[in-house]
Chain A
Amino acid sequence: MTTAIRLIRVSLKYMTEKGEVHAVNSVDLAIEQGEFVGIVGPSGSGKSTLLSLIAGLLLPTSGRVEVFGQEVRGPSSQSAYMLQQDCLLEWRTIEGNALLGLEIMGRVSAEKRLTTVTLLNEYGLEEFRHLYPRQLSGGMRQRVALVRTLATEPAICLLDEPFSALDYTSRLTLQNDVSTILRKSGKTCVLVTHDIPEAIAMCDRVIVLTNRPGRVKWNLPIELSAGEKQPLLRRRAPEFGKYFNRIWEEMELSVATEKTS
């Protein structure tokens, strides 16, 4: 297997007038191609920072971030984001939104346009192509955001709490849809979330971070006897609760040590 993402002793600190803030501290991490990895941890543990580092939106103050063996020196078309909100541009049509990434990269062609429209069709959005985002429901909007992410054909998808703004029912449905789509495409995915069951249901492996400055505390492969990849079915596996409790306890510990220190 090829390693898609490798973080070698990655630290990031930034200066404020009060002093230095260490956002993440000496993180070592390797993610294989095609793996679906979840990152959980207490608030402020640098989960989102890790994603920004992989995406090249932030550069580490020390250490090295590699994507397919190449050092990351800035945003590249190899990785694409899905964010907390769908971030659809209200003034563009659904199709215009789906094409945004390609347009910014200057890669729009008749062929790419066709691929994007095909993606929209696949996710049941064909009749909404020429509508505007406000005419769509929250779940459908997030689906458009997914198409926008996939249209640039990234090898790596970075999901930064992509479902946190949705209501519970849409969240479960969309977890299922997004997971199925991404797994079928064989992309390497990193999911940052507050929601522990979401991480267990969607990921092959869950990484627990410590409190700030974030370090990898625990690396937990998820093996559910159901053998299913669909999050909704995985939630029914008998071990689901056990995984939840173990991760919960780890996070509690982190919070507890923070309070005593």
Chain B
Amino acid sequence: MLLLKKLLRRYYLSKQAQTEEHADYLAKVLLTRATITLIQIALLVGFFTLWEFAAEHKIVDAFLVSRPTRVWQTVLSLHANGSLYLHVGVTSLETVIGFIGGTVIGTLLAAVLWWWPNVSRTLDPYLVVLNSLPKIALGPLFIVWLGTSPTTIVAMALAISLITTILVVHSGFQEVDPLKLKLVNSFGATKWQAFKYIVLPGSLPTILSALKVNVGLSWVGVIVGEFLVSRAGLGYLAIYGGQVLNMHLVMTSVLLLAVAAAVMYQLVVLFEKKIMAHHQ
């Protein structure tokens, strides 16, 4: 460790370091960062190694908790028969439709409430009740109304994210700087112009953070929807695996789900950064 630090220090001295102390500092910063990354990787590898080891030596029952090698085999066989991409694709698509739909429709309805404040005041108690209602309870209704189709699953995802989006975005609309509104009004702006020039762009950070929350909510809605009705998707795979007591399949779906959800969240964060580049 000490040798490494010395080497780094010499490297920085030959590069951007201004003084010896600065080189020490730069070396320390890099070492800390590297250590954290190493421990993060070690945790991941350690977890799977321990899991595999415990299953191998019968410390845990691999029939109940599966094991990494079997999960990997399951992934490979799903890949071989092509259904891996079907399941991941179906679930991801439903989720994307769910969170984009939830955000867009929620923002539109919030705009309606902003446009007619008395409508908002009238509907307020109902929105509060709907917001506190556990939306999953609506599942049976959607099955009857919409049938056992992907529409039901998307409806589930929308139901979960829509009301909170309306409430959050509407309060964002109301928090827009009144001085900015005064400014555009002094230029004779119409209500639509005030919305277009000030309220909507001014609330973009709120809308984007609602979008991020909706990604998570949409996954919940989609998986619950798939538990209830579907013939394809990771939720279906998990529930099917559970029914036939194939824990390898359940674990595989859960892990695939974790990866897909993380990837999607990062994509949304990237999108947010791009949009917000000039927004502070």
Which residues does A use to contact B, with CB under 8 Å? Answer: 55, 57, 74-77, 79-81, 83-85, 87, 89-91, 100-101, 103-105, 132, 134, 152, 158
CB distance from B185 to the nearest CB of A (A): 6
Whether the Cβ atoms of B180 and A87 lie closer than 8 Å is yes
Does B184 sit at the interface, judged by CB under 8 A?
Answer: yes
- Neighbour of B186 across the interface among A55, A85, A90, CB < 8 A: A55
Smallest Cβ-Cβ distance to A131: which chain B residue: B278
Among B188, B189, B197, B278: residue with most chain A CB under 10 A: B188
Q: Tell me the complex Cα distance, A84–B279, Å.
A: 21
Whether the Cβ atoms of A91 and B179 lie closer than 8 Å is no
Does B204 sit at the interface, judged by CB under 8 A?
Answer: yes
Q: Which residues of A contact B187 (CB under 8 A)?
A: 75, 77, 80, 100-101, 104-105, 152
CB distance from B111 to the nearest CB of A (A): 18
Whether the Cβ atoms of A104 and B197 lie closer than 8 Å is yes
For chain B, residues 155 to 202, give those with C-beta under 8 angstroms from any C-beta of chain A.
Answer: 177, 179-180, 182-189, 193, 197-198, 201-202
Q: Is the interface of B mostly helix, strand, loop or mixed?
A: helix
Whether the Cβ atoms of B185 and A57 lie closer than 8 Å is yes
For chain B, residues 125 to 172, give those with C-beta under 8 angstroms from any C-beta of chain A.
Answer: none
In the A-B complex, the 9 residue pairs with the smallest Cβ-Cβ separation, listed nearest first, are: A75-B188, A104-B187, A81-B186, A101-B187, A132-B278, A87-B183, A104-B189, A91-B201, A87-B180
Interface bin, chain B = 20 to 34
CB distance from A125 to the nearest CB of B (A): 17
Whether the Cβ atoms of B185 and A75 lie closer than 8 Å is yes
Q: Which residues of A contact B202 (CB under 8 A)?
A: 89
Instruction: State whether A76 and B280 are in contact (beta carbons under 8 Å apart), knowing that A87-B179, A89-B201, A91-B204 are contacts in the complex.
Output: no
- Neighbour of A84 across the interface among B179, B185, B193, B278, CB < 8 A: B179
Smallest Cβ-Cβ distance to A74: which chain B residue: B188
Number of A-B contacts (CB under 8 A): 56
For chain B, residues 231 to 280, give those with C-beta under 8 angstroms from any C-beta of chain A.
Answer: 278-280
Given A81-B186, A104-B193, 19 more A-B residue pairs with CB atoms under 8 Å apart are A55-B186, A75-B185, A76-B188, A80-B187, A81-B183, A83-B179, A83-B183, A85-B179, A87-B177, A87-B183, A89-B180, A89-B202, A90-B280, A91-B279, A100-B184, A100-B197, A101-B187, A104-B197, A105-B188
Q: Which residues of B contact A104 (CB under 8 A)?
A: 184, 187-189, 193, 197
Q: Which residues of A contact B177 (CB under 8 A)?
A: 87
Smallest Cβ-Cβ distance to B188: which chain A residue: A75
CB distance from A207 to the nearest CB of B (A): 21
Q: Tell me the complex Cα distance, A244–B193, Å.
A: 43
Q: Which residues of A contact B197 (CB under 8 A)?
A: 89, 100, 103-104
Whether the Cβ atoms of A81 and B182 lie closer than 8 Å is yes
CB distance from B22 to the nearest CB of A (A): 28
Q: Tell me the complex Cα distance, A74–B197, Å.
A: 20
For chain B, residues 192 to 228, give those with C-beta under 8 angstroms from any C-beta of chain A.
Answer: 193, 197-198, 201-202, 204
